[in-house]
Structure 1
Amino acid sequence: MTKRLILIDGSSYLYRAFHALPPLTNADGEPTGALFGIVNMLRATLKEAPDFAAFVVDAPGRTFRDDLYDQYKANRPPMPDELRAQVEPMCTIVEALGFPILRVAGVEADDVIGTLALQAADAGIEVTISTGDKDFAQLVRPRVTLVNTMSGSRMDSDDAVRDKFGVRADQIVDLLALMGDSIDNIPGVPKCGPKTAAKWLTEYESLDGVIANAGNIKGKIGENLREALHQLPLSRDLATIKTDVALDGGPETLILRPRAVDALRVLYTRYGFGQALKDLDAAAGDAGTAPATAAAIAIPAPPSTLDPALSVPGEYETVLTRERLDAWVSQLQAAEEFAFDTETDALDAMRSGLVGLSFAIEPGRAAYIPVGHDYPGAPAQLDRAQVLDALRGVLEDPAKRKLGQHGKYDIHVLRRHGIEVRGYADDTLLESFVLDAGIARHDLDSLAKRHLGMDTIKFEDVAGKGAKQISFSQVAIDDASKYAAEDADITLRLHRVMKPRIEADAGLARVYTDIEMPLVPVLARIEANGVRVDADELRRQSADLSKRMLAAQQKATELAGRTFNLDSPKQLCALLFDELKLPALVKTPKGQPSTNEEALEAIADQHELPRVILEYRGLNKLRSTYTDKLPEMINADTGRVHTSYHQAGAATGRLSSSDPNLQNIPIRTDDGRRIRRAFVAPPGRKLIACDYSQIELRIMAHLSGDPGLVRAFESGVDIHRATAAEVFGRPLDEVSGNERRAAKAINFGLMYGMSAFGLARNLGIGRGEAQDYIALYFSRYPGVRDFMDRTREQARATGHVETVFGRRLTLDFIQKGNASQRAGAERAAINAPMQGTAADIIKRAMITIDGWISAHAERAKMILQVHDELVFEADLDFVDTLLAEVVSRMTSAAELRVPLVVDSGVGDNWDEAH
């Protein structure tokens, strides 16, 4: 019987699965979409029972194609973080399923597959190459078949290849050379698509024939061909799959190992692959399975050493009488600490009504006090005012330790109902964030699963989901009580698990105790203060933006020669790529031409229309996000807009904001500054903006201790001009604008891991020249290079980096993973200490400023935090006092080797003050 070999193009399928499937995650928030696709494909492969199989992936490092052409794959974007996180688990699962994994240095996975395919075919083995990559069509021949398991398509003959591409299999390399490849950056003939290339090859048989007859091809495409003749042989070499790679073993060595069932069970459970787990368990007794190896199950599991006291069943009470309320108040007063939570009828803390409160005093003991369930037939509940009055003493007692999960929301709700919560001591969301800033989710349900191994009642379980979701006030009290009391109970249990871990690490304890927890009431006050916006000014801006959008539409119509819908991706695709024949340089997850911002920017230098569409979209985004929306967000009770700040919004510790997101208002454009003009001071007051100057560069100088960089900051000169003077070896007053721009790009680019290629693209210069700039920079600032090298080494040794104040960012891939993953982790290792320290500094400043400004609450208030900037509102005669106090506190929020500098301004609106 003929034997079969299946060669799986692992790198191709990982990307295709990632882009083809929705962004799935498991209960811990880990991305799983690509893994899900890969696992299903591999399980299907195993059902075919091949005699031999291999999962082939690219090895890290350069290949011979990089030596042929230094721009090979230079345009390929970095692997998305969500995909990078799935690479190592993918390899673990592949190994547990029994597939040999092949990586060969110096070549690509395509070359390994090509070599094995031809060796096997010559030996009489039937070969199936499982891939979605068109390049493999060049390998189709007797005994070599291509199968795309995602689309179900097969190519097993010249006829099948011709049906797909219009040419024979032996002409595919020439077709690819003529077309070029924007993803791999293979130069081809500009504007030569697959139909044109196939037509030429049909007429002239081969690439050599096309080259020989280039003078006979008319029109612009003929000119393009003749201009590209010198690079077509290189393009053919780059597109040719190598079939003579030196391998350690031949096809017959690629034997499937028995599955590691225990490891697969752990992996499938972790990533939520329910059907795969059922199938595995159903076949657990079959032959062909093996125990898990230690390497295969080296993954985090739910805690196995959990204190039994934190695993007790929950006993929850619904409080419906005054007698039971008084009994619970007494228990709260006697408890050393308690967890609390509020239930409301809306998500907006500044508008929602209180429906109930829950409390937990020890693991398993919790109660829910309903006060606002109003569905027909709801049981009689205690009066809301009466309940709040009874609880006021314990909730407002600063000596009574209280804890919550995202308690800032509950503080807002209770403040609006007459209770000023004091003694808020711990927050499980922030405990989780300080311990594990890099994880995706810090919500209660995810934390319960991660730290307690418990599945909790979800909001959707009691209120429904989607269009059928009801308000919590409509939820049956019995169901609401179980849900709400469990929230308080789980919060208390999580605190008992996480707080000791924080206290065991002095650095983390300082971040949590001195920065994150004291910031909670500060942010609550800023949010409650809100900011006034001029709705009439925003409406005028909306009208102006609409006129300019119409002008852009008219210009686009003129350029296109016909009308079309600028908001329709389908119509844009047809116009840009089918009619105007512009190159589709960026593809959607399904492989279709994209019309997103990146795609339009990529072709904006080839036609005016993409630039006009981008202008239209920019105007539309400002109008829909800000000028139209902000007036609708004015709170009817306060007359102000109230954003929400998120302490766990970024792994580095930087704050983010939402509803509205004020962090993303453009500052470098006239339209962005116009929007800031609508943020205004009330009559008799001014807005004051105080902004740290180049704080991350100053932190770089502090951390690196480079004498030249420290000296530049101490002198007070323009840092970018000073850097340019050092790098280019000329006096400050002779530094040109372009030299300063280059120095600025290097100063900021190094902190974000910018390569010579990125700098070259940023400055519009050659890659070699950009590399020279970077080399000059490091020669003048050797301490910066030493710091970067030292930080990478430390990160590899410890697996994490820290800010000046002890905030920690774990770098999962710094010690493992592939080269791309490690490179990304190394970039983060350099950047995170600076971004994180900047975040810590402004948070420390906010805490000290709040302590001072609270005594002057009638005269001034802190109203906004955006990046490195704080915005205040103050009486006219208090402005100078506020400026002096705020600037003093901001500049003394940290002791660095170089001075902290704060730029400030005063105005009737935010733009004037900035």
Structure 2
Amino acid sequence: MDAPAAEPRHRLFLVDAMAHIYRAYYAVRGLATKAGQPTNAVFGFTSILRKLQKVYAPEYLVVAMDSPAPSFRKGLFDAYKAHRAEMPADLQEQIPLIEEVCDALRIPRLRVDGYEADDLIGTLAQMATEQGLATVIVSNDKDMTQLVSDRTSLLRVDNKSGEFVLCNRSEVETWMGVPPERVVDVLALWGDSSDNIPGAPGIGEKGAVQIIRQFGSLDEALARHAEVSRKAYREALRDHQDTIRLAQRLVTICREAPVTLDLPAFRAQPPDAAACHALFTRLEFKALTAEFAKLLTTSDETPTPAPAASVTTSYQTLTTPTELRRAFDSAYARDHIAFHLEDLDGVFTRGSLSFGPGHGLRFERATLDAEATAALLEVLANGLVNKSCHDVKRALYLINCPPHGSAPTDQALDPTHAFRLESLTDDVCLAAYLLNPGVKAEQLALPALAETYLGSQAAADLDPADLVSRLRQALRPKLAAEELTAVYETMELPLAPVLYDLECAGIKIDPKPLAELETELRAELERLTAEIHALAGSSFNINSPQQVADVFERLNYETSKKTATGKISTSADVLEELAEKYDLPKLILEYREHEKLLNTYVTVLPRLVNPATGRLHTTFTQTVTATGRLSSVRPNLQNIPIRTEMGRRTRRAFIAEEGHLLISADYSQIELRLLAHITEDARMTAAFQAGEDIHERTARDVFGAQTPDALRDMRRLAKATNFGIAYGVGAYGLARNVGIGRKEAKKAIDAYFAAYPGIKRYMDETPEHARRTGVVRTLYGRLRRMPDLQSRNFTLRARAEREAINAPIQGTAADLMKLAMIEVANRLPQAFPQARLVLQVHDELLLEAPAADAPGVADLVKSSMEGVAKLRVPLTVEARIGANWLEAK
């Protein structure tokens, strides 16, 4: 993985004003002063500027604006932007106010007649590069991606989270399908209807990307048009070359505009607090007014005027739809809102909003009429209103209830199930889990979190949304102090809606293979029962640990592990130990596995199919495991047995819809690759870099296998040792796993460490470092607390040492999978809108797509999973396609 790069000190931030102004204008509707002055675009654009200042603290900053004078492109093509509608009147009257905001914030503005903001930005970026400065272009305009280079990046606002996303060359290629230097070529073929730029007739975005990727450039595509297989594309390239060349000139951003890179003038200055206070008071932006009032009280400046900032400290119950609509509309003027939804048996019954600690607006579901409901959903879906809650996935279910895509009811706030929650900056449940991933589920409930972080009185007396608001303020500094902010913002928060979509999608189940498997399993259980009773010399309840222990004692089985009552333990590890010596425990293990498969999956899965969707919908949880891995319930699909033939056959029942196929994409040996990367062991790293079979390499280097027969014989031991070491296994565990003596296992481990000294160093140093710090971390900073490393109990301490060794590896694998899920979920809708994620199990993603799209989806998910991180060794993903999960696997 690339280490997080240090941010360059000398960076020029270039803000594309009109792109953000239009975005704000359409995202925030109906915001105005009491006198009727529209302020929605002003508020949205101001929010972007303030967030930019707070998050990045730019050293150099300038806002580029369009000129009302015609662009030089009009001279090239008279119809340029001829079809574009006039700027709305209520937006036009906000432009002078936006200029006032820039001036009050002391951000220089730049405008040149005859040139667009894009051209000013392109020219300044070119000049900055020549002077050795890094440039950050703040824009959501795809055209700007052509300017991205090694020293120029694009900072866009994510439409879902409302957070900034920094795009470099690789992100541009993911977004646009081609590298930055080929973006103009794609745009020339695609055209731009909003600017009335003609492209190649019949060649849209997808076709343009395909053509440029095939030929490498527009020049090559035009010269070799006869090689294009699709007739419509071939004819468009042949017959419209002049139009395409004109479009190429129109979409190319000018880098020679008459502007000067005046760095002293562009150096960022602190805002004029008095001017900001006066302006935001006039615009009735309460949170911004309060912010600058606070700044003024700590400076020598005197606010003019200077009203005292009022803070609501009481709760209000809203009892009419009109009150609700007004309350929801007032949220647009707030920097942040907290919300909480309560339910009865999974149906939303009441809710509350908070605009800050001490404030709460309560309402009943029954009070919401159609207009008030629409107003609430519009606030929650608005990307310019930052918000927080407790358990966002649960909130999505309550809004789109009932769950899992079943038939809508009159209780659903959004019966279409199309609602998307935008700009969620905090989920206090996820935040608390990251701070202490070992806590039980009940400790993450809102009242328990309030008692832990705010005190028992707060938990008892405060409104739920107020609790969320207060917890957000309490937990954010703790996340920062523990260096968990990045994991929180880039992994856990964006993953929650992905899991919601995955759960709602579900997967189709074919009951026929399960019925066949049930028949076979029952026959096998009958056979095993007879054999077990025969070996035991009597009939007994095989499912009773007490009776099994009695049989073992009667047969004088020897084991060191006893229960508290002195009986022989019948746990799985004891049975595995005894199975090395005796046939009976071996048969009992087989019996248990068959019975678990039968009673947990084979007979249960058909009963869990949702009758409304005809699909199985498991529930994924982010807040259960200490390592960060996802868990699933009803059913737990993470535990489907795969070591036996019958266990693997269970996957035949997971099928695609008619006309569709399943795509399975699985990380290959992810934990061993992470072991090589984390330990920096030279030999293991070199083996992966060379694409060698790591188990054969270990068989040769560790166990001396040289001939094909020896490699075949020793590979099993090498594989068990490789994976066992990653989990901190000792000689006893390896001996049990492989079926060899403990001395032989000890010898194998010693040889392993001699061959891979970097791994030995990691295993020695990691528990000691964790003992000093109390935590271990993944490559991304996710922590796991290790209190048992200080335990006086040898068993607890030894287990903690093994966990400390494995947690960074397993946890990083979980992090990579979460990033991959987010990446795939972001890319799929645009590339393959009918494809969808349907399952995640361990290191595998399962997707469903129309049969024609399946190969493309396989390529997309493979590239996404392999590209989420750059390690010292390559990440490898195996993607397969099939009508059912077993075929795809």
Counterpart position of 2:436? 436
Q: Could you tell me which of 494, 505, 511 is aligned with 1:529?
A: 505
Counterpart position of 1:773? 748
Cα separation, 2, equivalents of 1:717 and 1:829: 28
Q: What is the one-letter code of the residue matched to 2:332?
A: Q
Cα separation, 2, equivalents of 1:570 and 1:385: 61
| Cα distance, 1:876–1:601 mapped onto 2, change above 3 Å | same
Counterpart position of 1:707? 682
Q: What is the one-letter code of the residue matched to 2:395?
A: D
Cα separation, 2, equivalents of 1:853 and 1:732: 47
Contact kept? 1:690, 1:887, Cα under 8 Å: yes
Q: Could you tell me which of 588, 597, 600 is aligned with 1:625?
A: 600
| Cα distance, 1:614–1:735 mapped onto 2, change above 3 Å | closer
1:559-598 Cα deviation digits (max 9, x unpaired) = 45555444445554555545x5556865444445555545
Q: Could you tell me which of 846, 850, 858 is aligned with 1:871?
A: 846
Counterpart position of 2:665? 690
Q: What is the one-letter code of the residue matched to 2:872?
A: R
Q: What is the one-letter code of the residue matched to 2:497?
A: P
1:144-203 Cα deviation digits (max 9, x unpaired) = xxxxxxxxxxxxxxxxxxxxxxxxxxxxxxxxxxxxxxxxxxxxxxxxxxxxxxxxxxxx
The answer as to 2:367 corresponding to 1:382 is yes
The answer as to 2:415 corresponding to 1:399 is no
Consecutive unaligned residues in structure 1, runs of 5 or more: 1-311, 347-351, 372-380, 459-481
1:600-619 Cα deviation digits (max 9, x unpaired) = 44544666444444433322
Consecutive unaligned residues in structure 2, runs of 5 or more: 1-310, 402-411
Counterpart position of 1:497? 474
Cα separation, 1, equivalents of 2:352 and 2:822: 29
| Cα distance, 1:511–1:724 mapped onto 2, change above 3 Å | same
1:55-79 Cα deviation digits (max 9, x unpaired) = xxxxxxxxxxxxxxxxxxxxxxxxx
The answer as to 2:674 corresponding to 1:675 is no
| Cα distance, 1:319–1:664 mapped onto 2, change above 3 Å | same
Counterpart position of 1:370? 364
Cα separation, 1, equivalents of 2:841 and 2:577: 31
2:519 alignment partner, SS class? helix
Cα separation, 2, equivalents of 1:557 and 1:313: 74
Give the TM-score normalised by the residue count of structure 2. Answer: 0.59
| Cα distance, 1:412–1:814 mapped onto 2, change above 3 Å | same
1:128-207 → structure 2 map (5 Å cutoff): none
1:736 alignment partner, SS class? helix
| Cα distance, 1:601–1:834 mapped onto 2, change above 3 Å | closer
Counterpart position of 1:538? 514
Contact kept? 2:508, 2:654, Cα under 8 Å: yes
2:526 alignment partner, SS class? helix
Q: What percent of counterpart residues are identical?
A: 40
Q: Could you tell me which of 428, 434, 450 is aligned with 2:452?
A: 450
Cα separation, 1, equivalents of 2:583 and 2:859: 50
Q: What is the one-letter code of the residue matched to 1:324?
A: E
Counterpart position of 2:807? 832
1:409 alignment partner, SS class? helix
**Aligned-residue offset at 1:648:** 1.9
2:339 alignment partner, SS class? strand
1:874 alignment partner, SS class? strand
Counterpart position of 2:175? none
Contact kept? 2:610, 2:617, Cα under 8 Å: yes
1:468-500 Cα deviation digits (max 9, x unpaired) = xxxxxxxxxxxxxx8xx7332222211110112
The answer as to 2:352 corresponding to 1:358 is yes
| Cα distance, 1:653–1:680 mapped onto 2, change above 3 Å | same
Judge which range, 817-826 or 536-545, deviates more.
Answer: 817-826
Contact kept? 1:691, 1:903, Cα under 8 Å: yes
**Aligned-residue offset at 1:557:** 4.4
Counterpart position of 1:342? 341
1:840-859 → structure 2 map (5 Å cutoff): 840-856=815-831, 858-859=833-834
1:605-639 Cα deviation digits (max 9, x unpaired) = 66644444443332222122112211111112221
Cα separation, 1, equivalents of 2:577 and 2:770: 36
**Aligned-residue offset at 1:816:** 6.5
Cα separation, 2, equivalents of 1:755 and 1:313: 61
Cα separation, 1, equivalents of 2:490 and 2:351: 29
Q: What is the one-letter code of the residue matched to 1:543?
A: T
1:733-812 → structure 2 map (5 Å cutoff): 733=708, 735-812=710-787
Contact kept? 1:586, 1:598, Cα under 8 Å: no
**Aligned-residue offset at 1:387:** 4.4
1:701-723 Cα deviation digits (max 9, x unpaired) = 11222221111111212101101
Contact kept? 2:329, 2:379, Cα under 8 Å: no
Cα separation, 1, equivalents of 2:582 and 2:743: 29
Contact kept? 1:722, 1:732, Cα under 8 Å: no
1:779 alignment partner, SS class? helix
Aligned length: 562
1:773 alignment partner, SS class? helix
Counterpart position of 2:322? 323
Cα separation, 2, equivalents of 1:789 and 1:582: 36
Cα separation, 2, equivalents of 1:560 and 1:776: 41
Counterpart position of 2:613? 638
**Aligned-residue offset at 1:734:** 5.4
| Cα distance, 1:526–1:857 mapped onto 2, change above 3 Å | farther
Counterpart position of 2:285? none
**Aligned-residue offset at 1:749:** 1.5
| Cα distance, 1:556–1:745 mapped onto 2, change above 3 Å | closer
Q: What is the one-letter code of the residue matched to 2:385?
A: K
Contact kept? 2:668, 2:875, Cα under 8 Å: yes
Cα separation, 1, equivalents of 2:547 and 2:681: 55
Q: What is the one-letter code of the residue matched to 1:425?
A: T
Cα separation, 1, equivalents of 2:559 and 2:786: 35
1:58-137 → structure 2 map (5 Å cutoff): none
Cα separation, 1, equivalents of 2:766 and 2:539: 56
Q: What is the one-letter code of the residue matched to 1:518?
A: P
The answer as to 2:649 corresponding to 1:664 is no
Counterpart position of 1:409? 394
Contact kept? 1:414, 1:420, Cα under 8 Å: no
| Cα distance, 1:903–1:573 mapped onto 2, change above 3 Å | same
Cα separation, 1, equivalents of 2:794 and 2:560: 25
**Aligned-residue offset at 1:342:** 2.4
**Aligned-residue offset at 1:408:** 0.8
| Cα distance, 1:818–1:564 mapped onto 2, change above 3 Å | closer
**Aligned-residue offset at 1:400:** 1.3
| Cα distance, 1:364–1:637 mapped onto 2, change above 3 Å | farther
1:94-122 Cα deviation digits (max 9, x unpaired) = xxxxxxxxxxxxxxxxxxxxxxxxxxxxx
The two structures, once aligned, show a CA RMSD in angstroms of 2.8
Cα separation, 1, equivalents of 2:789 and 2:533: 51
1:211-231 Cα deviation digits (max 9, x unpaired) = xxxxxxxxxxxxxxxxxxxxx
**Aligned-residue offset at 1:662:** 0.6
Cα separation, 2, equivalents of 1:851 and 1:785: 40
Contact kept? 1:585, 1:602, Cα under 8 Å: no
Contact kept? 2:672, 2:723, Cα under 8 Å: yes
Contact kept? 2:448, 2:459, Cα under 8 Å: no
The answer as to 2:496 corresponding to 1:520 is yes
2:638 alignment partner, SS class? coil
